[in-house]
Structure 1
Amino acid sequence: MADSIEGRVRTGVDAFLRWLPRWEVGTSRARTRVCRLCLGSPVATAAGFDHDVPHAVQHALLSRMRQIVDEAVDEYTARNLPMVARELSKGEAQEPTGYRPEQGLPPEFQGLPLDPEPDPEQPFLFTLEELATEDQREAQARAGAPDPEPTVFTEEAKKALSTELELADDHARQVGTAVCLALVEHRQRIADAIDRLVEPQIDELLAELSKALENPRSR
Structure 2
Amino acid sequence: MDGSLESRVSRQVDDWLNWLPRWRPGTHRGRARLCRTCFGSPVIAAAGLATDVPHAVQHALAMRMKHLIDAEVDEFTEANLPLLSREIRLNEERKAASAYHPADGLDPAYTGLDLDPPAAPDAPYLFTFAELAQPEASAATPVAPPPLTDEEKAAIRAEVTRADEHAALVGGRVCAELFRHRERMRKAVAEFVEPWVLALLADLDTALDSPLWPRGM
TM-score band (shorter)? 0.7 to 0.9
Residue of structure 1 in register with 2:50 after alignment: 50
Change in 2 beyond 3 A, CA 1:55/1:87: same
User: Where does 1:171-186 land on structure 2 (aligned, <5 Å)?
Assistant: 171-186=166-181
Is 1:77 the equivalent of 2:81?
A: no
Distance 1:37 1:156, change over 3 A: same
Cα deviation 1:137-188 (Å, max 9, x = unaligned): xx979x7223322332222222111110100010010011111001111101
The 8 Å contact of residues 17 and 193 in structure 1, kept in 2 or not, is answered as yes
146 and 26 in structure 1: CA distance in 2 versus 1, 3 angstrom threshold: closer
Shift of 1:8: 1.1
Normalised by the size of structure 1, how large is the TM-score?
0.76
Q: Name the residue aligned to 1:163.
A: 158
Alpha carbons of structure 1 residues 56 and 29: separation in structure 2 relative to 1, 3 Å: farther
| Aligned equivalents of 1:167, 1:145: Cα separation in 2 | 34
Q: TM-score, normalised by structure 2?
A: 0.76
Partner of 1:35: 35
> Structure 1, residues 33-77: CA drift from partner, whole Å, max 9, x if none?
211000100000001013310000000000000001100000000
Determine if the alignment matches structure 1 residue 22 to structure 2 residue 22: yes
Distance in 2 separating the partners of 1:29 and 1:106: 19
Measured after TM superposition, the shift of residue 102 of structure 1 is 4.5
Contact 1:16 1:60 in 2 (8 A): yes
**CA pair 109-101 structure 1, distance change in 2 beyond 3 A:** farther
The structure-2 alpha-carbon separation of the partners of 1:32 and 1:167, relative to structure 1 and needing over 3 Å to count, comes to same
Query: Measured at CA, do residues 106 and 165 of structure 1 come closer, stay the same or move farther in structure 2, by a change above 3 Å?
Result: closer
Matches within 5 A, 1:127-138: none
Query: How many residues matched?
Result: 188
Per the alignment, residue 201 of structure 2 pairs with: 206
Q: Which whole-Å CA distance do the structure 1 matches of 2:26 and 2:147 have between them? A: 52
Contact 1:43 1:180 in 2 (8 A): yes
Segments of structure 2 that go 5 or more residues without pairing to the other structure are 112-131
Residue 92 of structure 1 is matched in structure 2 by 92
Name the CA distance, whole Å, in 1 between partners of 2:216 and 2:142.
63
CA distance in 1, matches of 2:156, 2:101: 35
Task: For 2:177 and 2:152, locate their aligned partners in 1 and report how far apart those are by CA, in whole Å.
Answer: 37
- Runs of 5+ consecutive residues of structure 1 not aligned to the other structure: 112-135
1:62-117 Cα offsets, whole Å, 9 max, x none, are: 00000011000000000000000000001111224xxx9955x9625147xxxxxx
Counterpart AA for 1:213? L
Q: Paired residue for 1:187, among 144, 158, 182?
A: 182
Aligned CA RMSD, in angstroms, stands at: 2.9
Aligned-residue identity in percent: 44
Which residue type is aligned with residue 207 of structure 2? A
2:88 partner amino acid: L
Task: Report the 3-state secondary structure (helix = DSSP H, G, I; strand = E; otherwise coil) of the residue aligned with 1:153.
Answer: coil
CA distance in 1: counterparts of 2:95 and 2:81, whole angstroms: 21
Structure 1 pair 184/29, CA: closer, same or farther in 2 (3 Å)? farther
Query: 8 Å contact 2:77–2:85 — kept in the other structure?
Result: yes
